[in-house]
Amino acid sequence: MELDPLLLSRLQFAFVVSFHAIFPVFTIGLASYIALLHGLFYGTANPVWDRLAQFWTRVFAVVFGMGVVSGIVMSFQFGTNWSHFSQAAANFLGPMLSYEVVTAFFLEAAFLGVLLFGRDKVPQGVHLFAALMVALGTFISSFWILAANSWMQTPAGAVLIDGQFRVTDWFAAIFNPSFPWRFAHMVMASFLTGGFVVAGVSAWYLLIGRDVQANRRALSMCLWLLLVLAPAQAVVGDFHGLNTLEHQPTKVAAMEGNWERGSHVPLLLFAIPDQQAQTNRLEVGIPSLASVILAHDPAGEVPGISEVSPEEQPPVWLVFWSFRVMVGLGLLMIAVVVAGLWLRRGGRLYTHRGFLQVMRLMSVAPFVAVLAGWIVTESGRAPWLVYEMMTHAEGVTPSLTGGMALFTLVGYVAVYAVVFWAGVYYLTRVVRQGMLPEDSEPASVEHAKRPLSAAHATFDRDASPTWKE
């Protein structure tokens, strides 16, 4: 059997992107949380905030390092596996990737050094500023990367002339039609990921009785944030879906598993798409609900997959089920945080072991949801590399053989397995070690040693866990 270099190149890039994506989606949210903790410590001198900040900064450093290592390979692959695309899109993607490095990566790397090693060497205000700059850097990085990826989804401000994309309007190219909603959706996903991970780790500490007072505060803060963000993400996702319906109707049709354009389209809860027969098997759905969601009218029309030729259709089963995994986990997140609000009102938020176990397990859910969302986004535009302008087949390196692609794919899987094992190993050590001892000297000693007000000294470190937010 002859190996297909195009298929293997797509699998390789999908693997590398999926592996890399789980790190920045966590660090974006975590960096903002660390900056908030430093701000609270700066304003209150309460050592609890300092201990939490130092602990999560150590976690951030490990994850940031794994993200850097895994991200380098993606740019490398553009030249090895997608040389035609790299040459054609260089006028736009080259500046985008350069701006990301110059304005974001250097900012993050420089101030992360201050954040990690300057705790007792710079004034506390400078340390806080470093935390803010690291958080800002993560946002700037996501801005440029999502602008580039969104342009591939909804190209604008550029024309294709003699196999070259030439930018005619930089503003239109960067702020292309899908960018605002995709950027908002991704940033909120990052906050949800950071929030659920912090809440999950805090819940585990409460289960084993470690640093109870500090982790009560961390869990409480995260649950208040998630109570707002989880439903808000559903609203943003709805607007993002409507934007996709306007600009990429075939992707939406695949998400809904709808083969023929029509009205009163049901929302399918379960189906087995059969792309060869251009139909679904074993459908279970809610009548007219897809039309209501997408057109806000039971009689509203929903596009059909069969409106385009089979060669231009995405892998429907993959898009269909990935979308349901993402939405299902989103609804589960909303249910969990609402349950947390109910337990808070009953005074059992920190003592209900079943809920704490659920929160611990839910720390994995946002990563799975993000990966499912990326599968929907990237697989849903197939076979287009740049939507309706360049296909995957047109962008692949012509001299690439199946054997070469398979060799590098196996190599990346092996290397990334080592990177992932090492990262998980060190993260486990950091989490098991826990926070700094309560009697450790906080940063900015002069500031931190001033008398605490009654509002700040609301707990006794030797007392039983009775503190309430």
pTM of the model: 0.90
DSSP reduced 3-state for 284: strand
pLDDT surpasses 70 at 68: yes
The candidate with the shortest Cα–Cα distance to 18, out of 388, 397, 376, is: 376
Q: How confident is the model at residue 168 (pLDDT cuts 50, 70, 90)?
A: very high
How remote is the C-alpha of 172 from its chain's centroid? 25
How remote is the C-alpha of 296 from its chain's centroid? 28
pLDDT of residue 1: 63
> Percent of the chain beyond pLDDT 90?
79
pLDDT tens string 176-213? 999 999 999 999 999 999 999 999 999 999 999 999 99
pLDDT surpasses 90 at 296: no
117-153 per-residue burial string, b: 16 or more CB within 10 A, e: under 16:
eebeebebeebbbbbbbbbbbbebbbbbbbbbbbbbb
Measure the CA–CA gap between 47 and 214, rounded to whole angstroms: 10
- Report the mean per-residue pLDDT for the chain: 90
pLDDT surpasses 70 at 438: no
pLDDT of residue 131: 95
Residue 123, preceding peptide bond in cis (omega within 30° of 0) = no
pLDDT of residue 468: 36
Range name among 177-191, 372-386, 406-420, 426-440 with the lowest pLDDT average: 426-440
pLDDT surpasses 80 at 70: yes
Token pair for 29? 């949210």
pLDDT of residue 108: 87
Rounded to 5 degrees, what angle do the CA atoms 462, 464, 469 make? Answer: 105
pLDDT tens string 87-122? 999 999 999 999 998 999 888 888 999 998 888 889
pLDDT surpasses 50 at 391: yes
Contacts of 30 (CB under 8 A, 6+ apart): 56, 59, 60, 63, 194, 197, 198
Where would I find the beta strands (DSSP E) of 249-351?
Answer: 267-274, 279-286
Q: How confident is the model at residue 464 (pLDDT cuts 50, 70, 90)?
A: very low
Measure the CA–CA gap between 192 and 290, rounded to whole angstroms: 26
pLDDT tens string 225-269? 999 999 999 999 999 999 999 999 999 999 999 999 999 999 999
> Percent of the chain beyond pLDDT 70?
93
pLDDT surpasses 70 at 38: yes
